[in-house]
Amino acid sequence: MEGNHNNHKSTALGASSSAERRVVLKGSIWMAANAAISRGASLIAQVVLGWLLSKEDFALYAIAISSATIFTMLRNGGSLEILIQKGRQYKEIASVFVKFSFLFNIGAMLILVAMAPFAANLYLHDELIGLIIIIAISLPAGTPSVLFRAKLSIDRRFGSLAKLGLISNITRQVSMVIFALLGFGPLSFVLPILLAAVVENIVGWRYVKAWPSSNTLTISKFSEIFIDAKWVMLGALALGLSLQGDFLVIGLIEPIQDVGVYFFGYQLIFTVAVLFNTSLESVFPPTFARMVDDVEKLRSEFIRALRGVMLLAVPIAFSLTILSPVIIQSIWGGKWDDAIIV
């Protein structure tokens, strides 16, 4: 009797593990497809922008987005990840998390607006003020999407989540090209950020079609969320500074055109890397959150998934390293040859 019970238990656990793997695989395929289409659109947009905009335009955007890195990477105060982790309590805590995110984003916006003139004086370019202010406004403007993304992730509706991200990204890339054609210069990079935030809110609402009942955000609840999210925020901040902080330093010690060249090359690299990052960030957290009570299973499934990602990523990276000089020279006819080494 006991042996049969153990066999049934083992079979159930095996079936559960197999189901989780299928969910991870299906979700990864959805998000990879979304990332592939989105980055394809990004690459097309960069090809066009590379012809339409100057190295200085790329440099000003790089400095503006880097100046705002601390706040853009801390967007929503890490609440999205924590809300997904606490998915089983979604109905009770969702509205509190949205209020937390909104207050956090409003504070970040006000600080960014205040520091914009200092950044302009430091880098001797007044255009930075407008760029940074638009980036600042996009922070609270995109707050509702936190709730919609979290709900779709918790329900593991990865297809809808992928479509949401795709629509947002396509909106941003297409509008960049349109603004550049209309002669907006470096503003062509930041105006689409604000537009995409609004579109993401609208599309997210169409998918979720629900708003959680309102609960009061008390000081104690704010502190509790902040404490839970502190490591998420610190990790995001470290990632942001490591990925974008170099633009700020280069802008202080080198001609601004060099920042533009470096940023242009970096964007090409990011186009490849984000294919994998999007899948990891969107699929892994909500899936593995369900295994939080079984650390050994969590570790085993994470390593298995990570090996699969690396098996695909490494050969692609090496291939593009070899091909990049020919690609850049043929597409931009010598204008961006300086970016090949990047």
Q: How confident is the model at residue 17 (pLDDT cuts 50, 70, 90)?
A: low
Point out the least confidently predicted range of 30-44, 131-145, 154-168: 30-44
- For the segment 247-269, what is each residue's pLDDT rounded down to a tens digit? 888 888 988 889 999 999 988 88
Torsion region of 136: left, alpha or beta (phi above 0 gives left; psi -120 to 50 gives alpha): alpha
Sign of CA dihedral 290, 291, 292, 294: positive
Point out the least confidently predicted range of 44-53, 132-141, 160-169: 160-169
- For the segment 163-188, what is each residue's pLDDT rounded down to a tens digit? 888 899 899 999 999 999 999 999 99
- Position 307 pLDDT exceeds 90: no
The pLDDT mean for the chain works out to: 84
| Contact by Cβ (8 Å): 269, 342 | yes
Q: Say what the pTM is.
A: 0.77
Distance, in Å, from the CA atom of 41 to the CA atom of 43, rounded to the nearest integer, reads: 5
Residue predicted with more confidence, 203 or 273: 203
- Position 120 pLDDT exceeds 70: yes
Dmax (CA) of the chain:
80
Q: Which two tokens stand for residue 260?
A: 């533009």
Backbone φ and ψ for 74, nearest 5 degrees, come out as: -95, 10
Cβ neighbors of 29 (< 8 A, separation 6 or more) are: none
